[in-house]
Amino acid sequence: MAKGMFVDTSVCIGCKACQVACKEWNGLQGEPAHFRNDPVSMRPVAVNFTGNSYDNTGALGATDWRHVRFIERFSEDRSRARWYFSSDSCKHCGDAGCLNACPTGAIIRTGLGNVTVQQDVCIGCKYCIPSCPFGVISFSEGTGTVHKCTLCNDRIHNGLGTACAKACPTNSIRYGDVADLRRAANARLERLKSLGYGQANIYGYDEAGGLNVFYLFLEPPAVYGQPERPVVPQRRLPGASAATIAGAVAVGVAALVCFRERGQAEGKDEEVDK
């Protein structure tokens, strides 16, 4: 009975309560890269203004496990005016690239379906980082290990929901059984389509083995910064292995041909220095 979250971006107001609740519950620090020491006041001061709409977080990171995206879609004459908000986080993929890539077994899936990093096992090899098609899991210089959303692993194993879902004022983020959430999402999608939102879509039913944290978008996923057809990289392992083996075979055959001891005298095309 997998647990997950349904993120209905159509009712997200971009308030970032989810980002703050996540930091608060998980005891996360301000992202170190966002601060520099101010020589006058002798304390860290935030300097991470990006100029990218209201998004100064930029990306998910080792201490940013939720990241609200702001997408302004205005035509030049402003006749088309949309501002979308989407709270990005780990999607707890059914087929998780990070989990597949982890060589130490640090990344595991619990009985509730969420994917989490065992901080005492991780060696900080960082291989999971480029293995996530969504750019989620990140490395912390401070701990020497990787971090990401745990789906509030401690809360959900004690009968509570996720902190972000609890804090969300508009019920845009909902926690529950994935099966129930899918039903609710389908109903919401129906309703939006009937109201004329023809491009509304659910992102996460089929992607990456099914995302336990899935989304409702009003426009194609690329508008929201998500890959349209994400590929779990390990699916390409057989192909890459086969090609490499072929390469090895080629070298081996070359060696066979070039080095093979022949019965005939080796004189004409070889020279042995004396």
Site for another protein in 46-105 (CB under 8 A): 46-51, 53-54, 56-57, 59, 72, 74, 76, 78, 81-85, 97, 100-105
The size of the interface with another protein (CB under 8 A), counted in residues, is 116
Nearer to another protein, 179 or 247 (CB): 247
Cβ–Cβ contacts within 10 Å for residue 103, how many? 10
> Shortest gap between Cβ of 240 and another protein (angstroms)?
4
- Residues constituting the chain: 274
Does 24 bind another protein (CB under 8 A)? Our answer is yes
List the one residue from 2, 129, 160, 184 that touches another protein (CB under 8 A): 129
Q: Which of residues 238-257 bind another protein (CB under 8 A)?
A: 239-248, 250-252, 254-256
Instruction: Give yes or no for residue 161 binding another protein (CB under 8 A).
Output: no
Of 94, 129, 107, the C-alpha closest to 207 is 94
Using CB under 8 A as the binding rule, the residues of this chain from 164 to 223 that contact another protein are: 169-171, 191
Question: If you write DSSP's letter for every residue of 7-32 in order, what string do you get?
Answer: EEGGG-----HHHHHHHHHHTPPPPG
User: From the CB of 250, what's the least distance to another protein, in Å?
Assistant: 6
Contact residues for 10 (Cβ-Cβ < 8 A; gap 6+): 188, 192, 197, 200, 216, 218
Q: What count of Cα atoms within 13 Å lies in the side-chain half-sphere of residue 179?
A: 3
